[in-house]
Structure 1
């Protein structure tokens, strides 16, 4: 007797239906990949490894400060590119220009861009905080110095280079006194090294100096000259009320040289602030690193400020960025307090991706098994559909078409036998087989009854 081989037990039943699993999982995987890509690129991109800062002229205090920034950034794995400029106005132009490639810059408060031209694109900007206060020295030549700016009408004035914060402030103060370019007053730009000689010899009548041009060493060397004085404004309080961003600064008697008592009296001056301005979409991690570095570089005490006085979260023309406000109120985020910058940046980004991803995966993990089961059952349901259609024909034509109906039923049974289903659906497969047998028996019974009736 020939040995009858039994079919392998996995011929019909599989652990998993690879085809259904593939068709179910691949669209979900593609959708998840697209979601992850969107989260990585739009929710919070990685912190940049290089940023660019616009400073001031070569050798200026802002350029030196930026170089110190660069050392702090390098210690955290970030490259800071330093771009010199002519001053605050040029820094502001670069920051507002989306194509200039500048991320942050030093800008004197009060410096503003003209209204944009039609079609001109400008980037949104925000302040990261005020970093210093710069007194305005108005040096005049003469035996009896005036105490009001209106007395300078018709004179020869040095007001700073084009694009500098000194020039912007000087023009604003002079305009408030009815003195504007194009009138009888001559407004000049003169090299810093020549200002002292020009004042002493009477080539110019007054000079407006701020920042690097007005360091204690420079001011001392100028006021030592005969006939040169610091103009003491009698209307300081009125200027402070009219120009809300100005501050009062008092240089104490003897502050520059105690032995020679220079200056000989207290100097009551107006001062402008300098802030670090950034593009509004600056990465939060870079914003935190900048403010931390600002505290290290600008927080030290000297003649014009106390220790820790700067940087300060003070708003002027530009709003304080949300990240800067959060830093000033609560400090660095906890990840950056616990981990090195590169590790904290990586972990921060991972968490920003993980949270929305988990929220997305929970319903997906619930849905995938249901879709997979539905696809497997759908193959059973299609056979059931054919079986139900056959059963209706059995009820109507069991006698006259028995042979044809049996052929159709055999075809349905072959389709069922050809199914490959996961083991978990074996019970439903055998129920289908029972139903096919039930229809076969019913077809035979009804066909016999009708033939006898005939």
Structure 2
């Protein structure tokens, strides 16, 4: 997982997500980076599986191979400037020495976009590649005239800058116009005193522009891990902040990278039924098992439907197989030319009757068994009558052609 610079809100959030994953048995390492641009590049190149990325970068880098799990918190763009200067708009930074973040940082990309809106190109001011605490320290030390930074309002150095009497914070009166031009931004109000009520910091409401931090993952990241990340985001951000109402984050609404299928399902339906009932490991196993159960069911279902006919056939086969012997004995009785041959056939028929009486079948198939035994008796009677006539000298034997004459 790639976050951002040490001490930033991205790093804090990434650490919380990593702890949540480890608690569920998922190995997670967090790597510090230059910022959102670096994060998205690493994600798309396969150098990371999970990243925190600010909105507004999708247009430049594309979204192929990556998906969003939703927006998780606001991280405003702050423009602090020296009290010796007068700054009412971005254009007033012309000719000043401005900390705008290093290459690879989201603040540098967003700054260029907003500066272009007012015709402030890079040659019009001196850009210094400082961000975060380093930019704040440089401004308070007088090394730069202004600092454009992206950070959460609870960052300690944000409070330090806002409380410093020699530093001013730019309120963007035209923020709604920027939002119309760049829908991935939000206009937020930092209310008077919200940073420090005792010292009344800030001393008036301040309007800020804010990109939104979103969790972005590789498209092939396992859905179970995606669900764990969303759960971790709910745990970390649903209580609200200085800039958002409780329950607003995480949300799919502000993400500018397409949601993953798992995220879309999660926001629509909540945790899966299995995850509500079972621990993560068990639920994950059962969800994976469906991949095998469904194809297996397609094979088993026809077998289940065919099993009753197969069962009946197997039971009846135990009975019907004896008809071959019975047919052979009947033919032998018909062709017998002497009394001895007919008596031999009768003995074999008697043995067949004994064997048939030993056949074990379910009660519902008894009628087939008794039918076999009746047929054996029928053939034995025919051969027996022919043998009786042979004993009495009524027939010569081989001329028998019908059941009555057998």
Normalized against structure 2, the TM-score is what? Answer: 0.70
- What is the total number of aligned residue pairs between the two structures? 387
1:148 equivalent in structure 2: 89
- Any idea what SS the aligned residue of 1:138 has? strand
Aligned to 1:114: 61
Q: Give secondary structure in 2 for the equivalent of 1:290.
A: helix
What is the deviation of 1:273?
0.7
Q: For each residue in 1:109-145, what CA deviation from the matched residue of structure 2 results, as whole angstroms up to 9, or x when unmatched?
A: 11235369xxxxx524233x21101111111235352
- Counterparts of 2:81 and 2:93 in 1: how far apart (Å)? 9
> What SS is found at the alignment partner of 2:189?
strand
Give 1:19-168 correspondences, 5 Å limit. 53-75=1-23, 77-86=24-33, 87-97=35-45, 99-102=46-49, 104-112=50-58, 113-114=60-61, 123-127=65-69, 129-168=70-109
- Tell me how far apart the structure 2 counterparts of residues 191 and 278 of structure 1 sit (CA, whole Å): 25
Question: Structure 1 residue 363: deviation in Å?
Answer: 0.9
State the distance in 2 between where 1:365 and 1:197 align: 75
User: TM-score if structure 1 supplies the norm length?
Assistant: 0.63
Aligned-pair distance for 1:335? 1.9
Question: Secondary structure at 1:187's aligned position in 2?
Answer: strand
Q: Which residue of 2 aligns with 1:445?
A: none
Residues 317 and 336 (structure 1), Cα distance of their counterparts in 2 relative to 1, 3 Å cut: same
1:111 and 1:195 map into 2 onto residues whose CA distance is 22
Larger radius of gyration: 2
1:178 counterpart SS class: coil
Contact kept? 1:55, 1:82, Cα under 8 Å: no
CA deviation map 1:44-78 (0-9, x unaligned): xxxxxxxxx22222343333333333333333x32
Q: 1-side partners of 2:129 and 2:84: how far apart? A: 24
Give the C-alpha shift of residue 91 in structure 1.
1.9
> Residues 114, 302 of structure 1: CA spacing in aligned structure 2 closer, same or farther, 3 A cutoff?
closer
| Root-mean-square deviation over aligned CA pairs | 5.1
Q: Please point out which of 269, 276, 287 is paired with 1:330.
A: 269
Match of 1:139, SS? strand
How far 1:313 sits from its partner (Å)?
2.3
Q: How does 1:55-454 map to 2 (within 5 A)?
A: 55-75=3-23, 77-86=24-33, 87-97=35-45, 99-102=46-49, 104-112=50-58, 113-114=60-61, 123-127=65-69, 129-181=70-122, 183-190=123-130, 192-196=132-136, 198-200=138-140, 202-211=142-151, 215=155, 217-221=157-161, 224-226=164-166, 228-337=167-276, 339-342=277-280, 344-346=282-284, 348-349=286-287, 352-353=290-291, 356=294, 357-366=296-305
Check 1:282–1:218 CA distance in 2 against 1; reply closer, same or farther (3 A cut): same
Instruction: For 1:79 and 1:343, locate their aligned partners in 2 and report how far apart those are by CA, in whole Å.
Output: 10
**Would the aligned equivalents of 2:153 and 2:195 in 1 still touch at CA under 8 Å?**
no
Segments of structure 1 that go 5 or more residues without pairing to the other structure are: 1-52, 117-121, 378-421, 429-448, 450-454
Gaps spanning 5+ residues in structure 2: where? 317-359, 363-367, 369-397, 399-406
Partner of 1:400: none
The 2-side partners of 1:365 and 1:80 are apart by 43
CA distance 1:236–1:423, shift in 2 (3 Å): closer
Match of 1:306, SS state, is: coil
State the shift of 1:208 in Å.
0.4
The answer on whether the counterparts of 1:58 and 1:84 sit within 8 Å (CA) in structure 2 is: no
The Cα of 1:260 is off from its aligned counterpart by: 2.8
Q: Counterpart of 2:215 in 1: which secondary structure?
A: strand
Deviation at 1:230, TM superposition (A): 1.4
Distance 2:98 2:105 in 1: 15
Q: Which has the higher contact order (CA 8 A, sep 6+)?
A: 1
Instruction: Give the Å deviation of 1:361.
Output: 0.5
Once residues 192 and 291 of structure 1 are traced to their aligned partners in structure 2, the CA distance between those partners, rounded to angstroms, is 27
